Structure 1
Amino acid sequence: MFRKILQVSIILAFIVVILGAYTRLSDAGLGCPDWPGCYGQLSVPDVKDGTTIQGFSRPLEVAKGWKEMLHRYTASTLGLIILILFFLVLKGKQQRHQSLKLPGFNAFFVILQGVFGIWTVTLLVHPVIVTLHLMGGFVTTTLLIWMLLNQSKPPAIYQHTLKKHKFILLITLGALSLQIALGGWTSTNYAALSCGEYFPKCLNVWWPDMDFSGALYWGPFEINYEYGILENPARSAIQMIHRIGALITTIFILLLIYLFRNYTHLRSNLILITILLTIQITLGIFNVVLLLPIIIAVLHNIVALLLLLSIVKLVHKTFKVPT
């Protein structure tokens, strides 16, 4: 039962990440300006679109409200299931030994993630908070995947991995994680289209006017960040940093694939990583040249998560010695 509930939680975690990306990319993060309800109710009020509800200055946009509430309902369900998993491990109900530390930390982290969800609304989609909330969704899914891998049977074939190769693997994981954070920062500052439809150039030049100090601007917490507040030179700098980060991350992943090519028990993982990397690069380019279609933008988030999890699985296989 523990394994089945764990698998359900992973599916839910994917859905939460997808809904979170869709909510953010469709500018529905403030579709419900209060929390935990929506305009003081447990669901979106059944009134005409554009109605100004007493006590709220922001008119109701029904579609955006439902996007936000659907995300909240799913995230709350996931949080409850993660707490159930923690109590199952506490009572020793798992099939294989599972240290209490990881489920305990995940239970704590999902509560923290809920707090960031509240702050996303109450602090008016502040880029730092929204980016941390995005990363939190990725971390939650990764922790669940690691718990599932711990419940899996040890591989029949195991090859010792050289220390220098393990080091490159960890560096690659770090580079990919940072690149995902940069992607979140790009999205939350509405910088995805700051270079226009040009790729690899930006605004049809190789090095446009950019404000790198502005690109790292956090800003105060008391203003509304919906649709962004940065000038275009700062947004262009964010976009270019994200592109450079993508290039560096790609180099590390290709180096990883080359170094690990002779580990036969990892070959299927490397093939999957290669496929996901190719798809992710293609989606990133399409996001720019097609001016950010929401389907491609959401897919870009999903494949980023899948790529991260594929690297995490490689880490698990490499560092978790069968016993």
Structure 2
Amino acid sequence: MQTYRTLVFLAAFLTFDLIMFGAFVRLTDSGLGCPDWPGCYGHFTPLGAHASIQQALEAMPYGPVSAFQAWIEMIHRYAGAILGMLIIGFMVLAWRLRRSLPYRPTLATVIFGLVCLQGAFGAWTVTHRLMPVVVTTHLVLGMSLLAMLTWLAAREKSHAAVPAHAGNGRIWMVLGFIVLFLQLALGGWVSTNYAALACMDFPTCHGAWLPTMDFDSGFALLRGLGQASSGEIISQDALTAIHWTHRNFAFLVIALLGVLAWRWRHTSGLKGPARALLALLALQLLTGLTTIFFQWPLLIAVIHNGGAAALVLISTTLLWRLSRAGKPPSGRGHQHA
């Protein structure tokens, strides 16, 4: 059973790292560093593809292919493959140990299916030339995978008992979780459409509270990168609509999750993650504003993406603990469903 727990925690940790590194891939324009899949110009590493990379670099000196970008892209793929093997490992163990584990292997199996789907979207990200809807779905699936792995890991950790009355707030945490994922999808849409700098002022946008925006073009799903549905270059008004929506929806997320975290900041079994949630909300607000004022510095943008992943992790932990309200402390050495 110890091997099973170790694999679960390693998978959760690696998923968090992959989400942050995936942001680094996007922000350094390395998504097409190797424009085929799963290899790099048909080779296992960029070393074997050196001649092809050099040829692409000479043809397009400022294009998406360079040795640096190729390595970034391939390292992300290697880490994804390792994650897949970890998940296969603990899924197999969950089935082998199903009579001794205090829960069924259903979630482990669902996670295996999700990582396969995530791998498919990783491939389509390349083959569809960074199509925004594909890349955004890839990000949301990654966050969903992190949430499931966090839930799986939370079952293996002990924590203080949560009072029964706190369970009344579970439905609000579910709502907060849904709102958070909507914001993650909006954030992914901003990133994949390169709309982070569509509004350079705050709290207004282009000097207005309601700037000129084109929501139809901005939120049209079936279109290529940098294009409108018509095939023309996407307009500034469409990019403004994408940015403005994500920016303002953030205040709903901060308000809802902030109120819940403030309410539970002294509650037994919840105060640790509740206080962490408050800190993360403040961090996301700070890094979001810094991204605007300092014109999207790479480090801050990666931290902003990492903060989003941390919000998923903490929110999932809170939701798990709320599901145990009024029950004995769960985790290692305790029986639970």
Q: TM-score, normalised to structure 1's length?
A: 0.91
Q: SS in structure 2 opposite 1:151?
A: coil
The Cα offsets for residues 121-162 of structure 1, whole Å up to 9 and x where unpaired, read as 111111111001001111112211111111223x34330135
Structure 1 spans left out of the alignment, 5+ residues = none
2:277–2:314 CA contact under 8 A, matched in 1: yes
Q: CA deviation at 1:43?
A: 1.1
Matched, 1:199 2:238: no
Kept in 1: contact 2:41–2:52 (CA 8 A)? no
Point out the more displaced range, 114-123 or 164-173. Answer: 164-173
| Amino acid in structure 1 at the alignment position of 2:299 | I
Q: Choose the corresponding residue for 2:301, options 297, 301, 306.
A: 297
State the AA in 2 paired with 1:201: T
1:254 equivalent in structure 2: 258
Change (3 A) 1:231 1:202: same
- Select 1:266's aligned residue among 267, 270, 273: 270
Distance 1:227-1:71 versus aligned 2 partners, 3 A rule: farther
Report how far residue 49 of structure 1 moved: 5.7
Separation of aligned partners in 1, 2:22 and 2:220:
23
Which of the numbers 149, 165, 168 marks the counterpart of 2:169?
Answer: 165
Q: Does 1:76 align with 2:113?
A: no
Q: Which amino acid aligns with 1:204?
A: G
CA 1:305–1:59: 2 relative to 1, 3 Å: closer
**What is the alpha-carbon distance in structure 2 between the residues aligned to residue 118 and residue 226 of structure 1?**
20
Question: Which of residues 145, 150, 172 is equivalent to 2:150?
Answer: 145
Q: Is the 8 A contact 1:50 1:59 kept in 2?
A: no
TM superposition outliers: structure 1 runs of 4+ over 4 Å = 93-96, 226-229
> Where do 1:18-37 residues align within 5 Å?
18-37=20-39
User: What pairs up with 1:106-255 in 2 under 5 angstroms?
Assistant: 106-153=111-158, 155-161=159-165, 164-196=168-200, 198-220=201-223, 223=224, 225=225, 229-255=233-259
1:319 maps to 2:331: no
SS at match of 1:209: coil
Q: Identity over the aligned pairs, expressed in percent?
A: 32
Any idea what SS the aligned residue of 2:194 has? coil
Report whether the alignment pairs 1:99 with 2:104: yes
Letter in 1 for 2:70: G
- Cα deviation for residue 263 of structure 1 reads 2.6
- The Cα of 1:261 is off from its aligned counterpart by 4.6
Give 1:226 shift.
6.1
Aligned residues: 315
Q: Which residue of structure 1 aligns with residue 333 of structure 2?
A: none
Tell me which of the two structures has the higher relative contact order, counting C-alpha pairs closer than 8 angstroms and 6 or more residues apart.
2
What is the distance in 1 between the residues matched to 2:100 and 2:4? 7
Q: For the aligned residues, what is the CA RMSD?
A: 2.3
| SS state at 1:99 partner | coil
Alpha carbons 2:215, 2:241 under 8 Å: kept: yes
Q: Which moved more, 1:234-243 or 1:160-169?
A: 160-169
Tell me how far apart the structure 1 counterparts of residues 89 and 251 of structure 2 sit (CA, whole Å).
41
Q: Give 3-state SS (helix, strand or coil) of 2:270's partner.
A: helix
Q: Distance in 1 between matches of 2:11 and 2:166?
A: 34
